[in-house]
Amino acid sequence: MAFELKPTRHVLTVHFAATGEDIDLYYRPAKPKERLAYSNATMRREGKKVLMVQNPYPLQVRYGKAFVTGFPDGAFTVEGKPVSSDPEAEGYYPEWRELMEEACPDALALVCQRVMSAATVARDLDDGGLEFVEELDGPLPTPSTGTSPDATENAPSV
């Protein structure tokens, strides 16, 4: 499958556990300035220390709210009536983003996570590359170095 460089719409399917529904959310990619601002909001350097936000969830909700561009008509309802995120559609609900922030902030956080992690390193974990075991055999890592006593034997010299 080819990667479309100029898609007409980015789509993230979100599963809503409360209802069991899968709903498509439309979103836009982040602009370079937004990527930088998000990165700066989650970590910064102070001298030799790197400070990281312990809970990025509020940032993810805020940024996800900015990235989400809509949803299919009728995917959400207000007081039982279908609402739309499309200003041209019947049932348009102007405050749909605020309503999503209040009712389903997790979905907005997922949008942010998708946008900010749009590309990752391909890994072959499904073909035996990852296995969960009760405990590992051999010596435990040394807390100060994180390496096993014999792990440095074949390591390249620095």
Residues 14-31, mean pLDDT to the nearest whole number = 94
pTM of structure: 0.73
pLDDT, position 26: 97
Q: Tens digits of per-residue pLDDT, 71-88?
A: 999 899 999 999 999 999
pLDDT, position 154: 42
pLDDT, position 4: 79
What confidence category does residue 118 fall into, taking pLDDT thresholds of 50, 70 and 90? Answer: confident
DSSP assignment of the chain equals -PPPSS-S-EEEEEEETTTTEEEEEEE-PPPHHHHHHHHHHHEEEETTEEEE-S--HHHHHHHHHHHEEE--TTSEEETTEEEBS-TTSTTB-TTHHHHHHHH-HHHHHHHHHHHHTS------IIIII----SS--SPPPPTTTSS-TTTTTTSPP-
Residues 95-100, mean pLDDT to the nearest whole number = 96
What confidence category does residue 138 fall into, taking pLDDT thresholds of 50, 70 and 90? Answer: low
Q: Where are the domains of the chain?
A: 10-126
